[in-house]
Amino acid sequence: MSLRHAVLGLLAELPRASGYDLLKMFEISLDNVWPATQSQLYGELGKLAKEGMIEVAAEGARGRKEYELTDAGRAELLHWLLEVPPKPARRDDTLLRVFFLGQVGPEAARDFLTKQGKELDRRLADLLDLEGRIKWDDDNLAVYGRLAMEYGKRFMAMRRDWYEWAAKEIEGHERDGS
């Protein structure tokens, strides 16, 4: 149920935005945190408007509708931000594979883990590169966006290190002959 809060949050940062504008924001700044498709977004905007969380503040060319956060919407955002306990995502595609990796034998398992580690190392390098090229300004999205960036870096590094560790673990088992 958090797509709505992503929308409310964006409308809190940039008052007055159209569905189209918001879609661009999702693509450039929320893509790694909470992706949304165009269909989903327009649907949610309709619902939020009907519930009085946002309202059409102006209409422009080509049927453009500029939405604005209402007091109810802002209240809902703050409530969610501070009072609704965040629930960490539990499904992890990669971990699921690891669970069943015994099915392929230790050599293939070790190769798989090594490969994944290298892949993450590449992705971390890309992220560092991206970070270097971003020009952070001083608004809220930038300050807190930097925190999110650091999270991404630490997350990738943690997974890379774990893959390397796990590959070594399996190597140990390989030598044991188990």
Partner DNA sequence: CAGCTCATGTAATACGTTACATGATTAC
Partner DNA sequence: GTAATCATGTAACGTATTACATGAGCTG
Site residues (CB under 7 A) for DNA? 1-3, 18-21, 23, 35-40, 42-43, 45-46, 60-65, 91
CA distance 159 to 107: 20
Cα 149 from Cα 98, distance rounded (Å): 27
47 lies in the site for a copy of itself, by CB under 8 A:
no
Distances (CA, A) of 90 to 1, 135, 151: 15, 33, 17
Least spacing, CB of residue 21 vs a copy of itself, in Å: 17
Q: Which two tokens stand for residue 124?
A: 């971390």
Interface with a copy of itself (CB under 8 A), residue from 49, 98, 114, 127 = 98
Determine which residue in the list 50, 90, 133, 135 makes contact with a copy of itself, applying CB under 8 A.
90
Cα–chain center distance at 126:
16
Distance of closest approach, residue 165 Cβ to a copy of itself, in angstroms: 7
SS3 of residue 56 by DSSP: strand
Residue 136 binds which entry of DNA, a copy of itself, none, with Cβ cut-offs from 5 to 8 Å by kind?
Answer: none
DSSP-derived 3-state class of residue 132: helix
Burial class (CB in 10 A: 0-12, 13-18, 19+), 171: middle
Q: How far is the CB of 59 from DNA (least distance, A)?
A: 8
Binding site for a copy of itself (CB under 8 A): 2, 5-6, 9, 12-13, 29-35, 77-78, 80-82, 86-104, 108-109, 112, 116, 138-141, 143-148, 150-151, 154-155, 158, 161-162, 165-166, 169, 173, 178
